[in-house]
């Protein structure tokens, strides 16, 4: 892997909200999920759980729980990621910011997005209202909903890498301390 390969993948990834009407092959989905668990996590707690929604009715109900996602039913698969706040670290003596378990789950979502890009699958993170999505999946209290990820095969028109990303100039986002 070279930096150029990585840069190309990062540039090719963009949020895709409309997909082909075609289910994702099981092996492809498993590759995406296997990539998620390679994410780093605080004290290697691996606090993530992936709820894979293929069922149209359940996807429609989950769409009702989205903050801005009235296109969720168009995803072949919608993966809701939750954080198990009761996940245990190998070393109990470690003290860390409890939010870091949630950050770890966010990294896992990013790993899925990158794997999807490499596999020519479009993806888009969709924010979910915590209470309704938690209730819909009948989650235990120690699970926190992190977000949902739409996945689906790219439409022909989306296959061209856009290369364009609306980003602030780096100078606005970075401060160097001498």
Ligand X SMILES: Cc1cc2nc3c(=O)[nH]c(=O)nc-3n(C[C@H](O)[C@H](O)[C@H](O)COP(=O)(O)O)c2cc1C
122 binds ligand X per the rule CB under 6 A: no
Distance CA 96, CA 29 (A): 32
Which positions from 138 through 177 interact with ligand X, judged by CB under 6 A? 147, 165
Q: At its nearest, how many Å lie between ligand X and the CB of residue 95?
A: 26
Q: How far is the CB of 72 from ligand X (least distance, A)?
A: 9
Nearer to ligand X, 47 or 147 (CB): 147
Q: For ligand X, which residue of 76, 87, 108, 126 counts as binding (CB under 6 A)?
A: 126
**CA atoms of 108 and 129, how far apart (whole Å):** 20
H or E element at residue 150 = strand 143-153
Please tell me whether residue 15 binds ligand X under the rule CB under 6 A. yes
Q: Determine contact, residues 70/63, Cβ cutoff 8 Å.
A: yes
Interacting stretch for ligand X, rule CB under 6 A, among 1-9, 10-18, 32-40, 88-96?
A: 10-18
- Location of structure tokens 């990013």: 110
Interface with ligand X includes 14 (CB under 6 A)?
yes
78 is a site residue for ligand X (CB under 6 A): no
Angstrom distance (rounded) from CA 136 to CA 53: 12
Please identify which residue in 19, 78, 125, 153 interacts with ligand X, judged by CB under 6 A.
125
Query: Which residue from 37, 38, 67, 86 is in contact with ligand X, where contact means CB under 6 A?
Result: 67
Beta bridge partners of 78: 53, 150
Tokens of 90: 């190998």
d(CA 47, CA 145): 12
Which residues contact ligand X (rule: CB under 6 A)?
14-15, 17, 67-69, 124-127, 147, 165
């Amino acid at each position: 892997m070279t930096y150029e390969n990585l840069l190309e993948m990062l540039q090719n990834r963009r949020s895709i909200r409309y997909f082909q009407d075609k289910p994702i092959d099981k092996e492809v989905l498993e590759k995406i999920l296997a990539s998620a668990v390679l994410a780093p996590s605080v004290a290697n707690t691996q606090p993530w759980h992936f709820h894979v929604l293929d069922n149209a009715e359940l996807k429609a109900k989950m769409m009702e729980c989205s903050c801005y996602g009235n296109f969720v039913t168009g995803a072949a698969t919608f993966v809701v990621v939750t954080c198990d706040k009761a996940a245990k670290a190998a070393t109990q003596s470690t003290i860390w910011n409890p939010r870091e378990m949630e950050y770890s789950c966010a990294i896992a979502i990013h790993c899925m997005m990158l794997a999807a890009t490499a596999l020519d699958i479009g993806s888009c993170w969709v924010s979910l209202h915590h209470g309704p999505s938690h209730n819909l999946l009948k989650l235990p209290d120690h699970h926190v909903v992190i977000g949902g990820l739409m996945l689906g095969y790219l439409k022909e028109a989306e296959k061209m890498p856009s290369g364009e990303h609306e980003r602030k100039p780096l100078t606005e986002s970075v401060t160097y301390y001498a």
